[in-house]
């Protein structure tokens, strides 16, 4: 098949999944045309069957902000005319589904079909804003097919936007070849007898990075440990300030944005994700692929990824004491930690491996194309 993959190139779950899906499909012989304003961050070296179409943004004094949506629609239409794209797969409803609809209108009878994948904040935050609510609903309704990354997100979309059309649930996934359960060398991170905790996020309030610091402070009273913080975002400075006040900053490592999460996750003993809401929890899935138990919030789609008391523990949002207690329990019981890590890896192998999930996307593509 010949697919136009439209996504944000920035750090985040939607871009990461779109990039990995493009790689997987290209490896199966499909022709993939990635359409975005720059190369998505998870792409590495050149790969056969993948071509990037970079959206051009004209600078004109009349426009305070260049109209990216219109430029994207034009680029999508150009890619169809030049390369015979049969299907648009747009990741994140706003503005990609709208740009896809405009491209379809420009192309008329020759327009490709369009599949929209909902990833989370396009529904839970952006789409809920009064300014975007109607246009988000319009984009979903005008798509030829819609998928959501969790049953939680599917249900929320249907209820909040009064969507009656079917929405397929296709979860996020990982390529297990890039995630090892063998402990990585962490000599530059921690001493031989120290435990390693890990948090990965965009440091936005919904991720509750301050709770991560509070959990770590309580854990460090009983266990000699370090905390790795991966990512960038608006609450990073507040997170560092809180760590300084609590006296744990010297045992924390702020690693910034990292492309290879698997290598870092393989150093960890426990993964912390105390988010207010997770539509799926891709970073937790990546940790589980490395055999790392997850301590997180019992909210949103995370319970569909982490099985409570088997591959980790899920507690109420804001329960810092409970999360710290569970983390200490795992860190002090090596056998329990190994059992939970093995269960986490097995769950990924059973439900979230690339081969299984990419098959589901291929089936939806074939259905939309009438094959």
Supply the pLDDT for residue 12: 77
Same domain, 15 and 164: yes
Measured CA to CA, the distance from residue 347 to residue 342 in angstroms comes to: 9
Same domain, 53 and 115: yes
Sort residue 348 into left (φ over 0), alpha (ψ -120 to 50) or beta: alpha
Same domain, 233 and 274: yes
Residue 45 has pLDDT above 70, yes or no: no
Supply the pLDDT for residue 38: 87
Same domain, 146 and 214: no
Domain count, the chain: 2
Measured CA to CA, the distance from residue 319 to residue 315 in angstroms comes to: 7
Q: How confident is the model at residue 127 (pLDDT cuts 50, 70, 90)?
A: low
CA torsion through residues 235, 236, 242, 246, sign: positive
Residue 309 has pLDDT above 80, yes or no: yes
Measured CA to CA, the distance from residue 287 to residue 305 in angstroms comes to: 11
Same domain, 302 and 325: yes
Same domain, 54 and 192: no
Supply the pLDDT for residue 229: 97
Strands (E) in 15-119, as ranges, are 31-36, 50-54, 87-91, 113-118
Residue 126 has pLDDT above 70, yes or no: no
Same domain, 164 and 196: no
Supply the pLDDT for residue 334: 93
Kindly state the average pLDDT of the residues 305-314.
Answer: 97
Which helix (H) or strand (E) covers residue 229, if one does? Answer: strand 225-230
Same domain, 17 and 108: yes
CA torsion through residues 46, 47, 49, 53, sign: negative
Same domain, 225 and 331: yes
pLDDT digits (tens, 9 = 90+) for 243-295: 999 999 999 999 998 888 888 999 999 999 999 999 999 999 999 999 999 99
Q: Which residues pair with 4 in a beta bridge?
A: 33, 88
Instruction: Label residue 294 exposed, middle or buried (CB < 10 Å: 0-12, 13-18, 19+).
Output: buried
Same domain, 152 and 250: no
CATH code: domain of residue 318? 3.40.50.2000
Measured CA to CA, the distance from residue 13 to residue 186 in angstroms comes to: 26
Structural domain containing residue 242: 176-351
Per the prediction, the chain carries an average pLDDT of: 93
Supply the pLDDT for residue 199: 98
Q: Which residues pair with 229 in a beta bridge?
A: 199, 254
Same domain, 185 and 204: yes
pLDDT digits (tens, 9 = 90+) for 129-178: 778 889 999 999 999 999 999 999 999 999 999 998 999 999 999 999 98
Same domain, 181 and 265: yes
pLDDT digits (tens, 9 = 90+) for 54-89: 998 877 777 777 788 999 999 999 999 999 999 999
pTM score: 0.93
Supply the pLDDT for residue 58: 76
Supply the pLDDT for residue 28: 96
Which of 164-168, 185-189, 315-319 is predicted least confidently?
185-189
Q: How confident is the model at residue 227 (pLDDT cuts 50, 70, 90)?
A: very high
């Amino acid at each position: 098949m010949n697919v136009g993959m439209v996504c944000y190139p920035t750090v985040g779950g939607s871009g990461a999944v779109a990039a990995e899906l493009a790689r997987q499909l290209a490896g199966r012989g499909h022709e993939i045309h990635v359409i975005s304003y720059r190369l998505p961050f998870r792409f590495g070296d050149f790969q056969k069957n993948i071509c990037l179409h970079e959206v051009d943004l004209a600078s004109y004094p009349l426009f305070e902000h260049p109209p990216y949506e219109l430029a994207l629609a034009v680029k999508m239409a150009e890619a169809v005319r030049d390369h015979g794209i049969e299907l648009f797969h747009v990741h994140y409803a706003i503005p990609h589904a709208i740009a896809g609809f405009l491209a379809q209108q420009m192309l008329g009878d020759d327009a490709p079909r369009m599949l929209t994948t909902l990833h989370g904040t396009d529904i839970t935050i952006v789409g809920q804003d009064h300014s975007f609510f109607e246009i988000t609903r319009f984009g979903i309704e005008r798509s030829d097919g819609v998928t959501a990354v969790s049953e939680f997100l599917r249900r929320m979309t249907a209820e909040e936007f009064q969507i009656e059309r079917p929405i397929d649930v296709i979860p996020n996934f990982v390529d297990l070849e890039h995630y090892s359960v063998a402990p990585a060398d962490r000599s530059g991170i921690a001493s031989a007898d120290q435990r390693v905790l890990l948090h990965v996020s965009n440091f936005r309030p919904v991720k509750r990075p301050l709770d991560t610091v509070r959990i770590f402070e309580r854990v460090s009273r009983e266990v000699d440990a370090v905390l790795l913080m991966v990512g960038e975002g608006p609450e990073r400075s507040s997170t560092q300030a809180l760590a300084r006040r609590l006296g744990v900053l010297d045992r924390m490592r702020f690693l910034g944005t990292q492309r290879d999460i698997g290598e870092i996750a393989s150093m960890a003993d426990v993964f912390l994700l105390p988010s207010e809401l997770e539509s799926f929890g891709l970073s937790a899935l990546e940790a589980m692929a490395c055999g790392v138990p997850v301590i997180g919030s019992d909210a949103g789609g995370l319970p569909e990824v982490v099985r409570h008391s088997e591959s980790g523990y899920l507690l109420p949002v804001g329960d810092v004491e409970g999360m710290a207690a569970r983390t200490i329990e795992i860190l002090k019981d090596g056998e329990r930690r190994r059992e939970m890590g093995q269960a986490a890896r097995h769950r990924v192998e059973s439900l979230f491996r690339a081969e299984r999930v990419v098959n589901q996307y291929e089936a939806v593509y074939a259905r939309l194309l009438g094959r």
